Amino acid sequence: QSVLTQPPSVSAAPGQKVTISCSGGSSNIGNNYVSWYQRLPGTAPKLLIYENNKRPSGIPDRFSGSKSGTSATLGVTGLQTGDEADYYCGTWDSNLSAGVFGGGTKLTVL
Amino acid sequence: EVQLVESGGGLVQPGESLRLSCAASGFTFTNYALTWVRQAPGKGLEWVSVISGSLDYTNYADSVKGRFTISRDRSKNTLYLQMNSLGAEDTAVYFCAKSLYNWNDAAAFDVWGRGTMVTVSS
């Protein structure tokens, strides 16, 4: 049971937009920055978003992040087949004094 | 090139120990916190432990507290994870990851290794 809650799967057609939610509480998302990761099959996780809405260099602006209260959202526009992957949110939990991840969301581009 | 390379995984029996290593290159080793993250077969990412960049403060997930120890050797630019009393629930791919920050209480990792597989089975 993950501390952060994500939908198990989302899907959309190529070119469309999808959002992935990440729900937590005041000890984690509510008071700490959220980051998002993409895990393509057989590869290491890749940082997509940090500090709620910032993109590392090299990450296209098709990927966006937002946070409101104790929830965060990853948005992906202009979906491509290459975006099919597992996506994870992560943050620090001040009560646990530990990092926490969501359970992951599998994105399917139909 | 910034790089992390894990090693030390393998097959061990329940109750045994294993030490993972993560060789770092391409960045100032003591300027960033380093983390271990694992992924069990068919499961999601699980944060395991972190060590701060300069003062070696450490934190652990409850699932490994008291059994695992994270450490770093500055002279070798290498991160370690000593794992004792291993159980089947510890079977996973173990990744080391570099934080964006020097301190522990953040979870943003911009560089990851390829991972090393640990299998605990009799």
pLDDT tens per residue across span A27-67: 999 999 999 999 998 899 999 999 999 999 999 999 999 99
Please state, for a pLDDT cut of 90, what percent of chain B lies above it: 90
The chain A residue lying nearest B115, using CA atoms, is A44
Average pLDDT of span A11-36: 97
- Among A4, A36, A50, the strongest candidate for a mutation testing the B interface, having the largest count of B CBs within 10 A, is A50
Q: Which residues on adjacent β-strands are paired with residue B37? A: B47, B95
> How many angstroms away from the CA of B108 is the closest CA of chain A?
6
User: How many angstroms separate the CA atoms of A91 and A68, rounded?
Assistant: 14
Q: Cβ distance B61 to B89 under 8 Å? A: no
Burial class (CB in 10 A: 0-12, 13-18, 19+), B73: exposed
Task: At A106, list the tokens.
Answer: 């599998």
Span B66-104, pLDDT tens digits: 999 999 999 999 999 999 999 999 999 999 999 999 888
Nearest CB among B45, B100, B113 relative to A101 is that of B45
SS3 B38: strand
Question: Residue B22: pLDDT above 90?
Answer: yes
User: How many angstroms separate the CA atoms of B68 and A84, rounded?
Assistant: 34
Interior angle at CA B25, CA B108 and CA B93, nearest 5: 55
User: How many angstroms separate the CA atoms of B67 and B35, rounded?
Assistant: 16
Give the CA distances from residue A25 to residues A29, A33, A76, B9, B46, in Å, rounded to whole numbers and listed in that order: 6, 12, 24, 35, 18
Strand A71-76 with B3-7, pairing: unpaired
In this prediction, residue B107 carries a pLDDT of 87
Amino acid identity, position A8: P
- Among A37, A67, A86, A105, the strongest candidate for a mutation testing the B interface, having the largest count of B CBs within 10 A, is A37
SS3 A83: helix
